[in-house]
């Protein structure tokens, strides 16, 4: 992978396909092994990204917020407080464009407000709640909620789906561009959305989306799409499953856990992808759904499934899969595969990169015997 990175785009600083994603991978390897060498390697890539911010996008995965948030965390772990705070200051300076009412910024995770919210929550989770002021988080959350309410009223769906979102004039469902990713972020404890809003706005919106699933247990790419084809983190059950698990944690209703288990069955049956081994639309990203469900239920069936997907990924390049445009990147290529495989070695501490926040917590209500 390191040899292949010599041919990567030197100007791509994103977490999705660029140098910040590689920095995240080395940060992950440091977290799993506690080897300081990996942290210093992460710093090398952080320095590279911070020299090349372009200001075109503002999210964690695809914009400047990602390099700044990861930089803040890496410098914090190295006890370089001045550099860490400088990254946070620059991160917060992006907020004006996020909350501006005249902005045409979408709300989704990859390129919209939810992606910027992730960056704030990532810093807070890794460095402590005092790292980012609560008012900054609240303003972004309020902007996301108001945007969802406005579209719902416009589409005359306020009673059925109080928070409705679209991207490029389509009401996408999945984690990357759709409602699953946005609802997931609003349910994060660090977002501090009040219980009334969660119960009266987020929950019925999730239920509206749940009723759009196919008989197979998979989900459409958008509300208007009736084709049961995609089984990716970006579009389909592998992304929606994370939202369902979070809904179970927040609302304590068994229907969400049941739906998540049905998503897992879809992924087990259809989740080995010819599209590749990456995270966004590849087998590694699908395998993370099993690890997350294992953390929640402690049912070793899901750890077994994750391991079987990892075995498939270990045969990298032997399945005739498509070569992605960025073959060594975190969300499209080999770096994402390595990230997933490293988490298989430490399943108790694993965490889906740039999506799950904080260390996995055991849910005693559904715990099974180890």
- Residue 280 annotated as lining a ligand binding site: yes
234 is in an annotated binding site: yes
Please report the sign of the dihedral spanned by the C-alpha atoms of residue 361, residue 345, residue 289, residue 9.
Answer: positive
Q: Environment class of residue 211 by beta-carbon count within 10 Å: exposed (0-12), middle (13-18) or buried (19+)?
A: exposed
Using left for φ > 0, alpha for ψ between -120 and 50, and beta otherwise, residue 225 falls in beta
Q: How far apart (Å, rounded) are the C-alpha atoms in residues 110 and 112?
A: 6
Please check if 87 is assigned to a binding site: no
Phi, psi of 254 (to 5 degrees): -65, -25
- Angstrom distance (rounded) from CA 73 to CA 76: 5
Name the 3-class secondary structure at 222: strand
| Residue 232 to residues 212, 236, 257, Cα–Cα distance (Å) | 17, 5, 19
- Which residues, other chains included, contact 369 with Cβ-Cβ below 8 Å and sequence gap of 6+? none
Return all residues near 322 (Cβ < 8 A) that are at least 6 apart. Answer: 274, 275, 276
Pair 119, 87: CB distance under 8 Å: no
d(CA 30, CA 234): 27
Residues in the annotated binding site for Zn(2+): 234, 280-281
Instruction: Cite the annotated binding site by residue number.
Output: 234, 280-281
């Amino acid at each position: 992978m390191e040899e292949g990175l010599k041919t990567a785009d030197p100007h791509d600083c994103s977490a999705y396909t660029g140098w910040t994603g590689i920095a995240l991978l080395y940060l992950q390897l440091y977290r799993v092994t506690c080897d300081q060498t990996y942290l210093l390697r992460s710093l090398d890539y952080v320095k590279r990204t911070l020299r090349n911010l372009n200001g075109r996008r503002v999210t964690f995965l695809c914009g400047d917020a990602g390099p700044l948030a990861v930089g803040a965390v890496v410098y914090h772990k190295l006890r370089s407080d001045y550099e860490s705070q400088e990254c946070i200051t620059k991160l917060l300076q992006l907020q004006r464009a996020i909350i501006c009412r005249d902005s045409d910024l979408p709300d989704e995770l990859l390129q919209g407000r939810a992606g910027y919210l992730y960056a704030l929550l990532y810093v807070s989770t890794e460095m402590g709640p005092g790292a980012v002021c609560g008012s900054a988080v609240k303003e972004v959350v309020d902007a996301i909620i108001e945007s969802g309410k406005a579209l719902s009223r416009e589409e005359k769906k306020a009673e059925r789906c109080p928070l409705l979102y679209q991207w490029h004039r389509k009401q996408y469902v999945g984690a990357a561009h759709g409602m699953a990713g946005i609802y997931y972020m609003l349910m994060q404890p660090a977002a501090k959305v009040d219980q009334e809003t969660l119960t009266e706005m987020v929950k019925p919106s999730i239920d509206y989306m749940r009723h759009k699933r196919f008989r197979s247990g998979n989900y459409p790419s958008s509300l208007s799409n009736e084709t049961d084809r995609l089984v990716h983190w970006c579009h389909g059950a592998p992304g929606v499953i994370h939202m369902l698990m979070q809904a179970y944690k927040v609302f304590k209703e068994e229907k969400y856990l049941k739906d998540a288990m049905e998503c897992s069955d879809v992924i087990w049956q259809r989740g080995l992808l010819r599209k590749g081994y990456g995270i966004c639309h590849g087998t590694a990203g699908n395998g993370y759904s099993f690890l997350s469900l294992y953390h929640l239920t402690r049912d070793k069936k899901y750890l077994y499934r994750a391991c079987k997907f990892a075995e498939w990924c270990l045969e990298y390049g032997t399945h005739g899969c498509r070569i992605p445009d960025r073959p060594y990147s975190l969300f499209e290529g080999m770096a994402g595969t390595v990230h997933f495989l490293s988490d298989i070695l430490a399943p108790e501490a694993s965490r889906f990169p740039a999506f799950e926040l904080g260390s996995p917590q055991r849910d005693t209500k559904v715990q099974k015997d180890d």
